[in-house]
Structure 1
Amino acid sequence: MYYLNHFGYLDDQRTQKLLDFIYDYYDAQNAGWKCRAYPINPDRVLPVNCYMGAMKILKASSMIPEEKRSPQMEKIIKKETEKILENRIHWYLRNPDGTRKEKAGWKRFGYPLFYQSDILEIMTMLTRLGVKDDRMNEAVELIRDTQQKDGKWLMKDTFNGKM
């Protein structure tokens, strides 16, 4: 959906069909979308539904101009944004004792991310949506703390040499 919108296909009937699918399969009670592989071990995650997949749908939704977002999309954006903030961006895993555990991989910035995500991608998306919340502070500090003296960040997660 992200690239369909990016390349001007938002109003195409096929993209609208995709949006209908997204709306139809959204779990409004628990937030998110179910997927076959998630969670592999339900005792190790806090969200009931696929957290990483939701990031990609929300990223794509954040690129759609507000005036073109349906009321249903706005509700989903609001609910998913709150879920991200409740999990303080990357603290959605669960330790055996039930306490929160960070998704350490999301602290390694990279590109392309494919189905994975990172704090930088999520914070970009939240900022694009106009979200400002104290629960973002830890992620902002992490981004600031990992910035190099030249103002850049190291790409720590890459597929270079793996393909």
Structure 2
Amino acid sequence: MYHVKQEIIDWLLEDNNPPVKFLTMSKIIKKTDDVELDKVRSKINSYKPINEILQNQIENSYWFDSHKKHNYKKYLGSYWQLKFLGDMFANKNKQIENAIEHIFNTGQTTSGGFSYDGTNSSTIMCLTANMLKILIYFDYFNDDRTQNALEFILKNFADTNGKIRCQPAGLIPSCYMTLPKILHALSTIPNKDQTTRVEKGIKLCVERLLENMIYKYIPDKNREFLKANYKVGSQQRIENRNKILEKEPNMKKLPKKGWMKFGFPLSYASDALDSMKALVSANVKLDSNMQDALELIKSKATNGKWVNENKFKSPMYTKIDEYMQESKWITLHALEVLMYYEGLKIVD
């Protein structure tokens, strides 16, 4: 049982962050008064970061530039604003609806996936997973275009037994950072709509995360391999990697240092806390391979609060959390994970 002080809960319930207040009321202390919850929910879009993103929208439709090649502009393009708005539990309005139409019209390819420049060849799995999660959050699940995005993920992930086209340069077989994104998206699908293919996709994500103890997925010879293959062409590098992995299938795995630093919001990257939160979303039962990640989460708390260790290097329209300062968002997420896997007791 994880103990959290009442003063931490009171801090999360402060009025200056309506979405965190709403989520704390509904998920942590389990408020059931719909009138009270609706009152707080109605104020979510007044939260400064949400308001500033919406104020920077152009023609009530897009951000930065309307051309399809600018949707992925870090971190000013339309893709990122929709992701940030969804991650902060913004209430859907006409501006958000128009922005969703914009990315459908300019960002989704004929394959169903979303592309960083609007072309099929530039379709990205992690981007598509991010957008699928946001589309479902904003109640677009039954839209045919959302179904096309889902089909892209199922065809290119679940149906390929978890293979992700994006190939890292080192000894990691495919993009591991995408797994929490896919798991978040697929577990957001209503239970009644989770087909056997969706269930397979979830199962693949969960298995791979657990077999790597969530954040320990870097082969111990990865740096050596990168150094030796620095000037080798991509195809030859893949062949060299496959030979090593075939020869040493049980290579020791090291922690991904970046995953040991927690941040909010996240873009294409992931971390151990976000991955554990994805496992919670998928209702995955406690497993011994989660233990190190849970201990890592608990070790990050200082006086019952967690800090934001993630720093965006590209410009944004708003500052959601200060770098290396206490974060209500990360504290909330940590408590959600700990409550699910260890139980939570509020103490004086």
Question: What TM-score does the superposition give when structure 2 sets the normalisation length?
Answer: 0.42
Distance apart, 1:59 and its partner CA: 1.1
Kindly indicate whether residue 123 of structure 2 is the aligned counterpart of residue 123 of structure 1. no
The structure with more helix, counted as a fraction of residues: 2
Q: Which residue of 2 aligns with 1:112?
A: 265
Deviates more, 1:12-21 or 1:22-31: 22-31
For residue 162 of structure 2, what is the aligned residue in structure 1?
31
Aligned counterpart for 2:217 among listed residues 92, 111, 115: 92
Alpha-carbon deviation of 1:162? 4.4
Quick check: 2:214–2:272 contact (8 Å CA) kept in 1? yes
2: CA distance between counterparts of 1:122 and 1:79?
A: 14
- The match for 2:290 among 127, 136, 146 is 136
**TM-score normalised by length of structure 1:** 0.87
Look up the match of 2:306: 153
Structure 2 residue aligned with 1:8, among 121, 131, 139?
139
**Alpha-carbon shift at residue 54 of structure 1 (Å):** 2.3
1:70 CA drift (Å): 1.4
Give 3-state SS (helix, strand or coil) of 2:181's partner.
helix
Contact 1:31 1:49 survives alignment (8 Å): no
Specify the structure having the higher radius of gyration (Cα).
2
Partner letter of residue 307 of structure 2?
L
Percent of aligned positions that are identical? 37
- Please state if 1:21 is matched with 2:152: yes
- Given residue 183 of structure 2, which amino acid in structure 1 is its aligned partner? L
Residue matched to 1:66: 191
* Count of matched residue pairs: 155
Deviation at 1:30, TM superposition (A): 4.8
Shift of 1:28: 4.8
Residue 77 of structure 1 aligns with an amino acid whose one-letter code is: I
Unaligned runs of 5+ in 2: 1-131, 223-250, 316-348
Aligned residue in 1 for 2:323: none
Q: Which amino acid aligns with 2:274?
A: E
For structure 1, which runs of at least 5 residues remain unmatched after alignment? none
Q: Does the C-alpha gap of structure 1 residues 89 and 152 become closer, same or farther in structure 2, counting only changes over 3 Å?
A: same
State the partner residue of 1:103.
Answer: 256
